[in-house]
Amino acid sequence: MQITESITCPFCGQSFELVIDTSVPSQCFTTDCEICCRPFEVVAESEPGEILSLDVRAN
């Protein structure tokens, strides 16, 4: 199950939507900000249908 979560870019401070696949219990991936295009790391812990924690870190 995928859930859309609002996150804030650690560089420009703008918020945008990110889709998290909650069928994967623990994941770490790099994505680009939709506003400033700088890459950052996302760490998510989840259970099916629920995001337990979501952390955004500057690379």
Q: Give residue-wise pLDDT tens across range 6-15.
A: 999 999 999 9
Helix (H, G, I), strand (E, B) or coil at 11: coil
pLDDT, tens digit, 9 for 90 and up, residues 36-56 = 999 999 999 999 999 999 999
36 Rama class: left (phi>0) / alpha (psi -120 to 50) / beta: alpha
Contact by Cβ (8 Å): 42, 23: no
